[in-house]
């Protein structure tokens, strides 16, 4: 178990104390809180890596605590604990940002496995995420110019539009702007607009009043409200539907909004940073994006350069990731040899920094030796390539070939990971949710994992 600190929150002392004792036996430092209010006081004054909280508590309950943690400490994962009868509520909590949930009564091994996984994530985030001092990392002229622009705009209040391909580090840049701004003591709240269906996006952004729709049993604060006095990061703004665009325009112009279900307008003090990989100008011409909203967002446009345009940054980034991933995977001596760096630098990395980071993590998991060679890199590149996995089907069309190649890649990843889907997703460089969807598409869901695993991210 990695070193770390866990906050256990439960109003039932008969549950809280044994749980804390189990973690202490595994050499994990623990704090205890009897309700959400006590937990927030601890979080505000002490370093915490992971929060474990019950859902049902008097006063500030687990769901309200989750919203506060997501808004104020977004890097701290929250594990929900629940009885069998409230599993649907726990799943809803995961959709709102919870990292995982564990059922009562606890299975000790499953609980420790879940906590170990989240502590490793927290450790990796600390070692791999650029800080306010370093910013979006890279010494190429392109990244030097980006950092200069971000540092110029950070102390201001102007809206920023980050543009660039997927995986170029737009959220890292947004967080850096927040950390360098006068709002750094406030929350940084991010929402991925493309990850939610249109019917849910509006309620996630603006919240709702009791009775706004079936199942709305009380008032809920949206991401906009949670970001008050801080920064709201709207990722993939180009995927927002037209009706919601109108409400975002009002938010930016008037600094106010209305929750779903009516009620008086709510005044808000929030800075907007948006990001997109889409050509918004083309979308405006095609009447898919409001022109007035585009001009409101495009006050300070900053383009995040793709990795292929960043000169020598590939080798430096790869070394940085190797150090972090070696530590996260209990391989402190893990490093990239000169031939490995040369091979990595020669690749184009269409997935940009995110793809490079995922690939280095794959090497940290699968490479046979602590010093990775060029041959190791080439072997994993070949294994991860969908094109090399595709069988020769001379008469098949492109769609059929792609489907066959994808299925072979999924089967290979499951085989290499010993049917552990979390590791299989890492090998393929995709999220577990995407992996589960693709397994279902190819009728591969009958494969079993060899360890208890939580459901995929919502």
Q: pLDDT for 424-442, tens place per residue?
A: 777 777 777 778 778 877 8
Rg of the chain's alpha carbons, rounded to an integer?
23
Select from 303, 73, 319 the least CA-distant residue to 173: 303
Give me the pLDDT at residue 392, please: 37
Instruction: Give yes or no for residue 398 having a pLDDT over 90.
Output: no
Whether 416 contacts 427, CB under 8 Å: yes
Same fold, 141-305 and 307-384: no
CATH top class, domain 392-458:
mainly alpha
Give me the pLDDT at residue 382, please: 86
Tell me the pLDDT tens digit for each residue of 265-306.
999 999 999 999 999 999 999 999 999 999 999 999 999 999
Tell me the pLDDT tens digit for each residue of 185-219.
899 999 988 877 877 888 889 988 887 777 777 77
Cis before 367 (ω within 30): no
- Mean model confidence pLDDT for the chain: 82
Tell me the pLDDT tens digit for each residue of 102-146.
777 777 777 788 888 888 766 554 444 444 444 567 778 888 889
Distance CA 317, CA 310 (A): 11
Say which residue, 103 or 77, is predicted with more confidence.
77
Give domain 141-305's CATH number out of 3.40.50.170, 3.30.1360.120, 3.40.50.12160, 3.40.50.300: 3.40.50.300
Residue 446 per-residue DSSP state: T
Say which residue, 424 or 52, is predicted with more confidence.
52
Nearest 10 degrees: Cα torsion 245, 278, 173, 116: 90
DSSP string, 96-158: TT--EEEESSPPHHHHHHHHHHHHHHHHHHHHHS--TTT-S---SHHHHHHHHHHHHHTTS--
Give me the pLDDT at residue 3, please: 61
Using CA atoms, how far residue 335 sits from 202, 321, 340, 368, in Å, is 45, 10, 9, 12
pLDDT band with cut points at 50, 70 and 90 for residue 2? very low
Buried b (16+ CB within 10 A) or exposed e, 170-205: bbbbbbbbbbbbebeebbbbbbebebbeeeebbbbb
CATH for 5-128 is 3.40.50.2300
Per domain, the residue ranges of the chain are: 5-128, 141-305, 307-384, 392-458
CATH top class, domain 307-384:
mainly alpha
Say which residue, 449 or 427, is predicted with more confidence.
427
Phi, psi torsion values for 141, nearest 5 degrees = -55, -40
Distance CA 211, CA 403 (A): 45
Instruction: Give yes or no for residue 233 having a pLDDT over 60.
Output: yes
């Amino acid at each position: 178990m990695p070193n770390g600190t866990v906050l256990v929150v439960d109003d039932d002392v008969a549950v809280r104390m044994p749980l804390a004792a189990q973690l202490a036996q595994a050499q994990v430092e623990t704090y205890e809180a009897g309700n959400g209010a006590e937990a927030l006081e601890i979080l505000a004054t002490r370093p915490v890596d992971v929060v474990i909280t019950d859902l049902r508590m008097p006063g500030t309950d687990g769901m309200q605590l989750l919203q506060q943690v997501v808004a104020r400490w977004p890097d701290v994962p929250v594990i929900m604990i629940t009885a069998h009868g409230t599993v649907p509520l726990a799943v809803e909590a995961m959709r709102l940002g919870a990292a995982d949930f564990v059922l009562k009564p606890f299975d000790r091994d499953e609980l420790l496995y879940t906590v170990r996984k989240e502590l490793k994530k927290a450790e990796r985030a600390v070692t791999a995420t650029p800080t306010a001092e370093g910013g979006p990392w890279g010494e190429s002229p392109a990244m030097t110019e980006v950092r200069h622009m971000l540092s110029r705009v950070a102390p201001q209040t102007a809206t920023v539009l980050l543009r660039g391909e997927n995986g170029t580090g737009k959220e890292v840049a947004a967080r850096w702007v927040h950390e360098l701004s006068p709002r750094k003591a406030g929350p940084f709240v991010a929402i991925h607009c493309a990850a939610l269906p249109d019917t849910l996006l509006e309620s996630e952004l603006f919240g709702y009043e009791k009775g706004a729709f079936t199942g709305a049993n009380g008032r809920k604060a949206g991401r906009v409200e949670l970001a008050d006095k801080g920064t709201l990061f709207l990722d993939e703004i180009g995927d927002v539907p037209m009706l919601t665009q109108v409400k975002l325009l009002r938010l930016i112009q008037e600094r106010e909004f209305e929750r779903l279900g009516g009620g008086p307008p709510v005044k808000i003090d929030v800075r907007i940073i948006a990001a997109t990989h889409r050509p918004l100008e083309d979308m405006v011409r095609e009447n898919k994006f409001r022109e007035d909203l585009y001009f409101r967002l495009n006050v300070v446009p900053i383009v995040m350069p793709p990795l292929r345009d960043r000169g020598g940054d590939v080798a430096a980034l790869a070394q940085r990731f190797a150090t972090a991933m070696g530590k996260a995977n209990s391989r402190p001596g893990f490093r990239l040899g000169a031939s490995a760096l040369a091979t990595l630098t020669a690749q184009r990395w269409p997935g940009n920094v995110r793809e490079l980071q995922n690939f280095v993590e794959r090497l940290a998991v699968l490479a046979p030796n602590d010093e990775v060679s060029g041959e190791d890199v080439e072997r994993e590149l070949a294994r991860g390539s969908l094109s090399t996995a595709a069988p020769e089907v001379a008469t098949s069309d492109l769609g059929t070939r792609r489907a066959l190649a994808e299925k072979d890649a999924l089967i290979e990843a499951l085989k290499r990971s010993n049917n552990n889907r979390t590791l299989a997703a890492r090998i393929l460089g995709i999220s577990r949710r995407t992996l589960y969807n693709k397994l279902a598409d190819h009728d591969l869901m009958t494969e079993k994992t060899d360890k208890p695993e939580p459901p995929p991210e919502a």
